[in-house]
Structure 1
Amino acid sequence: MKIKEFRSYFIQELTPIYDAGEAESFFYLILEEKQQLKRIDLALQPYLDFSEEQIMVWDLILQQLKKEIPIQYLLGKTSFYGLDFQVNENVLIPRPETEELVEWIIERQNSKGKSQQIRILDIGTGSGCIAISLAKNLPNAQVFALDISVKALATAQKNAELNTVNVTFINQNILETEDLGQQFDIIVSNPPYVRNLEKAEIKKNVLDNEPHLALFVEDNDALIFYKKIADLAQKNLSKNGHLFFEINQYLGKQMIDLLEKMNFSAIELRKDIYGNERMIKGEMN
């Protein structure tokens, strides 16, 4: 079968679930990964064929996409902040909003001088996307990353090796931690923050496939991780050090109140590219 013909079939099969543009983007992502062909190659060589064996592989992927398994899990990788990351069912798929959090930290640190030696801790690192991106772009930073999941940390370690950076990974339950044991200039976290009441807003492909441990908190204690991390930051953040969080878009005011009560200064709440209140920082006096 001509690849061009299969492309039309592929998109048609997926459009009851995804819009045509998204289905087409899936096709070209898979084409590049499985056949090492880009969109331009197909445009220049419209008569390229799939073998029967290749069609079997594509049909299997198509059936998994129909079950709404995220394409990043099917390909085993994704891009984040210009870097490649391995992903699997043990880690969340990195989001564009989190790239904005990383950009904020890098911009702020570069404005203070690239040569400055700093220590950074990423709490709840998952795939390691935040810690690794910071290590890659802030070469004078000593980066540590903590997670409760051994399997997530194994993925993060592979990603550090893939991106040739040195990150110290720590297996630890932050909610059971009384002291981080050392001082840091920056503590950053994208902890679980989706309340159970918001599950109806979560897409099926996320709800059915991504680790709930990294996503959800109880409705009656939605800020449990933020309270704990902010408390630890009071002990383990250096003077004039910074605490950065990705947050629930509906809880911006509550997060400002929390940091104010815990005596952080220079508190700043930022919106993401979609206009949602998604990031906050505070400074240790």
Structure 2
Amino acid sequence: MILKDIRNIYHSELDALFGKEEVDSFFNVLIEHYLNLKRIHLVLDPQYMITKEEEQPLFEALTHLKSQKPIQYILGETEFYGLPFKVNEHTLIPRPETEELVDWIINCHTERSQIVSKEPQTKILDIGTGTGCIAISLAKHLLNTKVSALDVSEEALVIAQQNAELNVVNVEFIHDDILNSRQTELVSVFHKYDVIVSNPPYVRNLEKAEIQPNVLDNEPHLALFVDDENPLQFYKAICEFAQINLKANGMLYFEINEYLGAEMIALLEGYGFKNIELKKDLYGKDRMVKGVK
């Protein structure tokens, strides 16, 4: 079959859902992934033929896209902070706003290490690691660090470990539940952390109407949603954990619900954190907060 004809089928079946430009983007990503062909190939050879065998994954992907399955799950991979990551239905797809959180941490601690010469090894804990994208990116870009990462999902930790190996970094992965204080006391019997970071579940059920179907129907709800009555439950648990396990002048970073910035500042103040900074993402939404113990 002529590859250009398959692209036309994609447009006829998907444009109404995603728009022409997005469908072009999907198709280009898929032919590079499955056929090792660049977009320019269709321009240079409009009559390029592919075999029945080569057609199959493209039509399977089309079926998945029609059901609004995210393309990252179709491919089983994505990119985050310039690094490759495997993803599956047990992990959230890493988001651009989380890249901004990682960038904030890297910039803060690169500056700090330049100010403090011969700084001892920095110990970092990522709580609710999912794919491991935060922990692995920090381990890759920050020198002289020991990075640990915790998640309640064993299935997510399998993917996170594969991602650490893929990106050639050492991260200590811990299967634990931050809401179970007896268990999390064991996490850091031998640790005091310089940095604790978390992108925990923070979407309230009342906000489900704002979530796109491709996210709502595919990504793990365990990693997304919290009860309307207690939307800060993970942040409270992590603040309590940090009071015991964060070093003096250590830093606590969170990705947050854009609607709860003021509540997060009040929460950190209530736990005695100082120099609290609320940071907006590129879209002007309150999305990150930092506090110093």
TM-score category of the 2 structures, normalised to the smaller one: over 0.9
Structure 2 counterparts to residues 102-181 of structure 1, below 5 A? 102-113=102-113, 116=119, 117-178=121-182, 179=185, 180-181=188-189
SS in 2 for 1:17: helix
Deviation above 3 Å: which 4+ runs of structure 1? none
1:166 is displaced (CA, Å) by 0.1
Q: Which residue identity is paired with 1:165?
A: V
Question: 1:159-206 CA distances to partner (integer Å, 9 max, x unpaired)?
Answer: 000000000000001100243322100000000000000011111111
The aligned counterpart of 2:242 is 233
The aligned counterpart of 2:261 is 252
Whether 1:195 and 2:201 are equivalent positions in the alignment is no
1:61 is displaced (CA, Å) by 1.1
The aligned counterpart of 2:279 is 270
Q: Which residue identity is paired with 1:16?
A: A
1:15 is displaced (CA, Å) by 1.1
Q: Which residue identity is paired with 2:221?
A: H
SS in 2 for 1:238: strand
The aligned counterpart of 2:82 is 82
The aligned counterpart of 1:213 is 222
* d(CA) in 2 for partners of 1:55, 1:148: 39
1:21 is displaced (CA, Å) by 1.3
TM-score by length of 1: 0.97
* d(CA) in 2 for partners of 1:109, 1:41: 44
Q: Which residue identity is paired with 1:22?
A: E
Structure 2, unaligned stretches of length 5 or more? none
1:38 is displaced (CA, Å) by 1.1
Whether 1:91 and 2:91 are equivalent positions in the alignment is yes
1:8 is displaced (CA, Å) by 2.2
**Does the 8 Å CA contact 2:34/2:57 hold for their aligned counterparts?**
no
* d(CA) in 2 for partners of 1:194, 1:273: 19
SS in 2 for 1:105: helix
The aligned counterpart of 2:100 is 100
* d(CA) in 2 for partners of 1:258, 1:59: 50
* d(CA) in 2 for partners of 1:67, 1:107: 40
1:57 is displaced (CA, Å) by 2.3
Structure 1, unaligned stretches of length 5 or more? none
SS in 2 for 1:153: helix
**Does the 8 Å CA contact 2:65/2:71 hold for their aligned counterparts?**
yes
* d(CA) in 1 for partners of 2:217, 2:234: 23
* d(CA) in 1 for partners of 2:20, 2:238: 42
Q: Which residue identity is paired with 1:42?
A: L
Q: Which residue identity is paired with 2:125?
A: L
Whether 1:62 and 2:71 are equivalent positions in the alignment is no
* d(CA) in 1 for partners of 2:135, 2:44: 40
Q: Which residue identity is paired with 1:229?
A: I
Question: 1:133-162 CA distances to partner (integer Å, 9 max, x unpaired)?
Answer: 000001311000000010000000000000
Question: 1:231-255 CA distances to partner (integer Å, 9 max, x unpaired)?
Answer: 1111111111100000000000000
1:47 is displaced (CA, Å) by 2.5
**Does the 8 Å CA contact 2:129/2:135 hold for their aligned counterparts?**
yes
* d(CA) in 1 for partners of 2:38, 2:181: 48
The aligned counterpart of 2:27 is 27
* d(CA) in 2 for partners of 1:177, 1:159: 28
Report which stretch shifted further, 110-119 or 272-281: 110-119
RMSD: 1.1
Identity within the alignment, %: 55
Which among 262, 269, 290 is matched to residue 281 of structure 1?
290
